Amino acid sequence: MQKAEILKKLNWFYLLEINQVHLYRMQSRQVDDLYIRKALERVAEVEQGHVENIRAKIIELGGTPGKFGEMMGPFSGSVAGLATGTAGTVALLKANIQLEEKAMKDYKDFIVRAGGDSDLFKLLWGNLIDEDLHTAWFSNKVKELEGKQ
Ligand SMILES: [Fe+2]
Ligand SMILES: [Fe+2]
């Protein structure tokens, strides 16, 4: 991949990750269950780490973080306001799983195409595995909640 293309892609992930931070923070305030609230807060912190590592990478490559070619629209949380009660929480977690799975797919595609820069490779792998861990936790919680319904 050419540097310009890498920067464009990194900026796209930068936007995605910022959106994830806001989404999970918002959800952590909406959900009733304390443990899920704390988990969402922690996931938001991990996403903030992704925002920061991508931001640093963009700057390192001579780009400008936040120079987006796309609007917030495609990402923003269609899951807002779903959190009420167990059914609401399950719906919210399922939406999160979809979002995380999409992010994982995009990270995997980027990893395959990025090549070259081993620091970038490491960064993308790290973020990908974090998203996988989020997906696993959300999925496990969905199973648990569905068992109670
Ligand atoms: Fe992330
Ligand atoms: Fe994530």
Residue reference for tokens 């991990």: 46
SS3 69: coil
Percent of the chain whose predicted confidence (pLDDT) is above 70: 86
CB contact at 8 A, 81 and 28: no
Instruction: Catalogue all structural domains in the chain, each as residue range(s) with its CATH number.
Output: 3-68+82-148 (1.20.1260.10)
Helix-strand-coil percent breakdown of the chain, rounded to 5? 80, 0, 20
For position 40, what pLDDT does the model report?
A: 98
Q: What is the pLDDT of residues 51-84, one digit of tens each?
A: 999 999 999 999 999 865 454 544 555 455 555 6
In terms of pLDDT, which residue wins out, 82 or 114? 114
Lowest mean pLDDT among 23-27, 36-40, 77-81: 77-81
How many angstroms separate the CA atoms of 100 and 135, rounded? 6
How close is the Cα of 147 to the center of ligand 1, in Å?
Answer: 28
Among the bound ligands, the one closest to the CA of 13: 1
How close is the Cα of 128 to the center of ligand 1, in Å?
Answer: 7
